[in-house]
Amino acid sequence: METKYKKLEQTWRWYGPNDPVTLQDVKQAGATGIVTALHHIPHGEIWPLADIQERKSIIEASGLTWSVVESVPVHEAIKTRRADADKYIENYKISLQNLAECGIKTVCYNFMPVLDWTRTQLDLEMTDGSKALYFNWIDLAVFDLHILKRAGAEEDYPQSVLKRAEAKFATLNQQQLDDLRINVLMGIPNEKEIELETLRSSINEYKQIGFNGLRENLVYFLSSIAGVCESAGIKMTIHPDDPPYPILGLPRIASTIDDFNYILKNVDLPFNGVCFCTGSLGAGVDNNALEIFNAVKERVYFAHLRNVTKDEDGSFYEADHLGGDVNMYEIMKALSEENALRDKTIPFRPDHGHQMLDDLAKQTNPGYSAIGRLRGLAELRGLEVGVTGNY
């Protein structure tokens, strides 16, 4: 029987009224849905109903829809399951109830320790003059060994990386070291810069928790919010670790097909879903993004589509959306086939984009300039039409 395709929901990440990319820009790019969060609310505090309604009204006044929340941040007390974890879980549940009351029921989150994404360079120049985000293992080792000075860091890198890191460190001036520190410590958006001593302390805390302990803490969190999510119709979508492997001695629990099978099996309820991010998963040397999608596709409620190009040591830069190591054609085909089975369409957004053209002279959120994402969305929309024939 011929597949009856319907269009995926095309969304766009917007950082709110202070975002240099405006809602009018978003409309001109062709997206219909907005992915946003209340970044002015400190992590762990309740999202007030009035604040949610205000943001929703701003979006709808522009003729757009608030489709996905990205993110309701999970407080570190929950991830580490400190004595006050349940207080923050209760706050989280109230925020979810308030979002559901406003009709916003798809929530993206992550369970990465301390830093919710890590890059070593934010302006890697491409051959066409545009700029991309870059994760380089040599630079990370320089940061780990010579800036953070983490105890036992040498044990986490192969000798080939250590030798190259030592050689590179010898060439760097203080300004270059400062830039590297700032890039790695960008951490969670709109939070104060994480100080080195705070990071060392957190690393020691997570060392005691370990991989299995962090997994168990995620299951505890999801089990604790399950009742609210099921009754309110909330879909939680966990974002893969970025990058998808342990860094700086911090464990990772959402990086591989085994990780996602564990998460979905141990809280086996419909609300517990996945944000399928091709860029994060594609950065894993041993990951097959299509294989992971097929394993979890029934629980994919949101998708980030971007691409990466890896080198021999696993360093990667963010490539054009239709370039890189991820076969975006096969991903779009599988995503469209799954979407055809749904009553509610799957939202996707063009994740990140090169800084290019006029945006090269503008100050923008890393990866979130307008023109690079506009190009990415245009390419992905065209790919979807090519895959489905659905104009």
Mean pLDDT of 162-166: 97
Total of domains in the chain: 1
Cα distances (Å, whole numbers) of residue 365 to 11, 143, 185, 275: 17, 22, 15, 21
Q: Which of 134, 157, 317, 368 is catalytic?
A: 368
Quickly state the pLDDT bin for 192 (edges 50, 70, 90). Answer: low
Q: Which of 108, 229, 275, 277 is catalytic?
A: 277
Mean pLDDT of 177-200: 78
Mean pLDDT of 266-293: 98
Note the pLDDT tens digit of each residue in 233-245: 999 999 999 999 9
Q: Which of 239, 241, 275, 301 is catalytic?
A: 239
Residue 377 lies in a domain: yes
Note the pLDDT tens digit of each residue in 10-28: 999 999 999 999 999 999 9
Residue 215 lies in a domain: yes
The CATH number assigned to the domain holding 328 equals 3.20.20.150
Q: Is 146 a catalytic residue?
A: no
Q: Domain range spanning residue 224?
A: 9-119+211-388
User: First and final CA of the chain: distance in angstroms?
Assistant: 20
Q: Which of 304, 321, 354, 359 is catalytic?
A: 304
Q: Is 352 a catalytic residue?
A: yes
Lowest mean pLDDT among 192-201, 252-261, 292-301, 331-340: 192-201
Q: Which of 241, 242, 259, 351 is catalytic?
A: 351
For residue 191, pLDDT beyond 80: no
* Alpha carbons 133 and 124: distance in angstroms, whole number: 6
Residue 111 lies in a domain: yes
Residue 193 lies in a domain: no
Quickly state the pLDDT bin for 223 (edges 50, 70, 90). Answer: very high
Q: How many residues does the chain have?
A: 391
Q: Is 351 a catalytic residue?
A: yes
- What's the pLDDT score for residue 3? 80
Note the pLDDT tens digit of each residue in 129-142: 999 999 999 999 99
Q: What 3-state DSSP class applies to 276?
A: strand
Residue 181 lies in a domain: no
Pairing of strands 131-135, 316-319: antiparallel
Q: Which of 116, 242, 301, 352 is catalytic?
A: 352
Residue 374 lies in a domain: yes
- Burial (CB count <10 Å: 0-12, 13-18, 19+), residue 64: buried
> What pTM did the predictor assign?
0.96
Sheet of strand 307-310, all strands in order from the earlier edge strand to the far edge: 121-125, 131-135, 316-319, 307-310
Residue 137 lies in a domain: no
Q: What 3-state DSSP class applies to 26?
A: helix
- Burial (CB count <10 Å: 0-12, 13-18, 19+), residue 20: middle
For residue 80, pLDDT beyond 50: yes
Neighbours of 61 (CB within 10 A): 9
- What's the pLDDT score for residue 197? 87
Residue 138 lies in a domain: no
Handedness of CA 384, 385, 389, 391 (dihedral sign): positive
